[in-house]
Structure 1
Amino acid sequence: MHFIDQPDVLAPFVEGNRSRAFGAGLDPFAYERVTGALRSLYDWPAAFRAVGGRLVEDAERYAAEGRTVSAGEALRGAARWLHVSTLLPHPDAAAMADAARAADRAMGRALALTEPSAVRVEGASFAGWLRRPAAAGPAPVVVVVPGLDSAKEEFHAVAEALLARGVAVCAIDGPGQGVMAAALAPRADFQRVVGEVLDALAGRPGVDVSRAGVLGLSLGGYYASVSAAYEPRLRAAAAVSGPYRLDWEGLPLFVTDTLTRRCGGVREARAFARRVDLTDTAPRIGCPLLVVEGGTDDIPGVTGGTALAAAAPDAALLSVPHGDHLLGNCRPEWLPRTADWLTARLAPAA
């Protein structure tokens, strides 16, 4: 049985994604209205895409009236809603890919209106946006890496927190994520993707790649950790709700179904899950590492980040006892501290 076909799965999925949706910036009242009208998870993608589409229409009307700020805000909202429409392991892969592309376009249009200094950065294995702080001079840069079913459009608050502290941000979709999901399967050796991003950033105005860090969320926490172990240019890393190890047999159906669809088959998904294991990698992490965990984030089949914090040579653990997965229910208790921690470690050498 596929995840979406389980009986009585709608209500738990709506509840389980509530704090994640709010953390991504969706209006909570709109989320309740949209999800309250659903009769099946099969209807989730279209319902969320409809909100995104209406926001795009609003943006076009605002732009025609010369209201650039309102147009940009509406397009950012559209990007969020369009992305959240893709969270399910839905059988209509073409519709999921269309929504991911629409989210990417909306974010690009929003940045063009409100932040024209933002630059599209692409490579063979990634696509993203480089955003630089207002202060003059080369800034340190953090690569923001999403997780299994997330994308660069989800973590606006993370990017804004770093930009406010004078740090440039390159938020990306890598293999299996966002606009790259239809073309490339997830890969466990994500240090190669981060290396490609740093190569693409080198020499760009306003960016000091010698002061580079990485911040990964959910499965992106594993990606950040493995990159910190094998990409020597990284000076600091943060892993938020990231796995230390995956056990396929224990994983919930949502995770195995999502992995199967994004990897291209059960055999490929199992092979990928086996490689998500930091047991031998954690001791190799040579830069400072911050591990951020929610105390209520207990996913079957997933060994959490506490083990990573214990195994990495220079690691600190920030645990919020009531935090859930991605800590969307307690952002003020981890995001400012994480942004400050990264900023301090990417500061110029004394």
Structure 2
Amino acid sequence: MFSYFPDNYMWSSAVNLALMAGGQIGQIDRWLAPVRDTKADSEAWTRAWDSMAEEQERQAVQDLEKGYRLSASVRFLRASTYHLTGERQTPPGPAKMHSYTSALSAFEKSIALNSANVERVEVNSPDGILPGYLIPSGRDSPSPVVVFYNGFDVTKEILYAIIGDEFAKRNIACLVIDTPGTGEPLRLRNVPSRPDYEVPTSAIVDYLETRPGIDSSRIGLLGISLGGYYSPRSAAFEPRIKACVAWGAMWDYGATWQKRWDTSSKMTSVPFWQLPWVMGTKTMEEALTRAKAFSLVGILQHLKQPLLIIHGEHDSAVSVEDAKTAYDNAGSLDKQLRLFSVEEGGSEHVGVDDPDPGRQLIVDWFGLRLGTTKTI
């Protein structure tokens, strides 16, 4: 992995994720270089990413004054990504909320200016409104759709920046959406995550069945990082999901976090305070207990739909053994475990070191399973 901060895995992984979502290394280096060789300071980190984002926003306004709408849209999208990259490592409080709301504002401006007809949607669920963005397939006839779930600490805006129009190129719509424990529900309404993710998933499928441009008989589900728990768990109990991808395997999330806590691991992409925040508990001990319910043990044999698991051989967050165990236990007849090696790239968590091969595999795999592309 590109280690911009050689002695700080967490910050280096954040830089890689920003690049995965369309960040530019020259822009990133211009603002992070002053903090690169200093003691880790979360406030300096947040200021650097916000300043980076604000520079893009100023340039977007200048583009608009010249009539360059699409250029401005790209800059606003990148500003959103930069705000969110800093926000991920910032503890709850005014600074975090400032970064987050600034990201939402920049993203809305980007969507308003682009030509992709992306639509903000709101799904009613037992956890309240689940907001998302529906990226159309571009087809006149009803099209299949893939629902794209966040992991532990990203948001629908980052998902959009990661996936862009890749599904549309395969005549598939895509819904990037904030669900319990992520994005707006967590940050604006304090809605924690839940282990029974089939509950929000069923609400989302109910909504998609009302959409005239969606072929609700062909719904796929994709989850990244902790989404590699959310998506297989959901598909195991929601038969209306027709194909499932885990972009980063999960097996026993509670055991994974307990090991991190017991060893004071430095190889995590997020600070430890995030677990109680996402789990909705007051203490780390309570969070570790609650996390035990986030396990696919005894669950995956119920999964019958086509399944693709993508994992890196050098994943420092979740072991290769967990990926193999998840694959072995899945009840799907059509299942594949794709391990990316160090030599070929994409070997880190969710392939953040070289994401595009995994990204292209995922969308092509869905194209075949949802019937929009054909084998040669």
Task: Decide: shared fold, TM above 0.5.
Answer: yes
Q: Quickly say closer, same or farther: Cα 1:300–1:139, change in 2 above 3 A.
A: closer
Q: Tell me which residue corresponds to 2:208.
A: 201
Distance 1:59 1:34 in 2: 18
2:166 match: secondary structure? helix
Identity %: 25
| Structure 1: stretches of 5+ with no match in the other structure | 1-7
Q: Quickly say closer, same or farther: Cα 1:16–1:72, change in 2 above 3 A.
A: closer
Cα-to-partner distance string for 1:66-103 (whole Å, 9 max, x where unaligned): 21111111111111111111121x33433323322322
Q: Quickly say closer, same or farther: Cα 1:15–1:117, change in 2 above 3 A.
A: closer
Q: Quickly say closer, same or farther: Cα 1:117–1:205, change in 2 above 3 A.
A: farther
The reply on whether 1:152 has 2:156 as its aligned counterpart is yes
| Structure 2: stretches of 5+ with no match in the other structure | none
Q: Quickly say closer, same or farther: Cα 1:218–1:349, change in 2 above 3 A.
A: closer
Cα-to-partner distance string for 1:117-153 (whole Å, 9 max, x where unaligned): 2211113252110010222211100011111111112
Q: Tell me which residue corresponds to 1:271.
A: 289
Distance 2:194 2:83 in 1: 24
Distance 1:120 1:300 in 2: 33
Distance 2:209 2:108 in 1: 22
The Cα of 1:290 is off from its aligned counterpart by 0.4
Q: Tell me which residue corresponds to 1:283.
A: 301
**TM-score (ref. length: structure 1):** 0.90
Q: Tell me which residue corresponds to 1:79.
A: 80
One-letter amino acid matched to 2:84: H
One-letter amino acid matched to 1:137: S
1:154 match: secondary structure? helix
Aligned residue among 109, 130, 137 for 2:134: 130
Distance 1:177 1:100 in 2: 12
* More displaced stretch, 166-175 vs 57-66: 57-66
1:181 match: secondary structure? helix
The Cα of 1:297 is off from its aligned counterpart by 0.1
Given that residues 117 and 135 in structure 2 are in contact (C-alpha distance below 8 angstroms), is that contact kept between their aligned partners in structure 1? yes
The Cα of 1:348 is off from its aligned counterpart by 7.0
Given that residues 216 and 242 in structure 1 are in contact (C-alpha distance below 8 angstroms), is that contact kept between their aligned partners in structure 2? no
Q: Tell me which residue corresponds to 1:231.
A: 238
Distance 1:129 1:46 in 2: 28
Q: 1:1-350 maps to which residues of 2 (within 5 A)?
A: 11-38=8-35, 39=38, 40-88=41-89, 90-115=90-115, 117-123=117-123, 124-155=128-159, 156-182=161-187, 183=189, 184-246=191-253, 247=255, 248-251=257-260, 252=265, 254=270, 256-264=272-280, 265-266=282-283, 267-299=285-317, 304-314=322-332, 315-322=335-342, 323-347=347-371
1:329 match: secondary structure? coil
Given that residues 283 and 313 in structure 1 are in contact (C-alpha distance below 8 angstroms), is that contact kept between their aligned partners in structure 2? yes
The Cα of 1:34 is off from its aligned counterpart by 2.4
Distance 2:185 2:98 in 1: 12
Distance 1:285 1:97 in 2: 38
Distance 1:276 1:312 in 2: 16
Cα-to-partner distance string for 1:250-303 (whole Å, 9 max, x where unaligned): 024746421123333225422331011101111011211100001100337896
Given that residues 120 and 130 in structure 1 are in contact (C-alpha distance below 8 angstroms), is that contact kept between their aligned partners in structure 2? yes
Cα-to-partner distance string for 1:192-229 (whole Å, 9 max, x where unaligned): 12222222222223211221011100001111111111
The Cα of 1:165 is off from its aligned counterpart by 0.9
Given that residues 251 and 325 in structure 2 are in contact (C-alpha distance below 8 angstroms), is that contact kept between their aligned partners in structure 1? yes
Distance 1:51 1:36 in 2: 12
Count of residues in correspondence between the two structures: 342
Given that residues 249 and 301 in structure 1 are in contact (C-alpha distance below 8 angstroms), is that contact kept between their aligned partners in structure 2? no
Distance 1:340 1:300 in 2: 25
Distance 2:116 2:223 in 1: 26
Given that residues 13 and 352 in structure 2 are in contact (C-alpha distance below 8 angstroms), is that contact kept between their aligned partners in structure 1? no
**TM-score (ref. length: structure 2):** 0.84
Given that residues 159 and 171 in structure 1 are in contact (C-alpha distance below 8 angstroms), is that contact kept between their aligned partners in structure 2? no
CA RMSD, 1 decimal: 2.4
Distance 2:9 2:358 in 1: 26
Given that residues 97 and 181 in structure 1 are in contact (C-alpha distance below 8 angstroms), is that contact kept between their aligned partners in structure 2? no
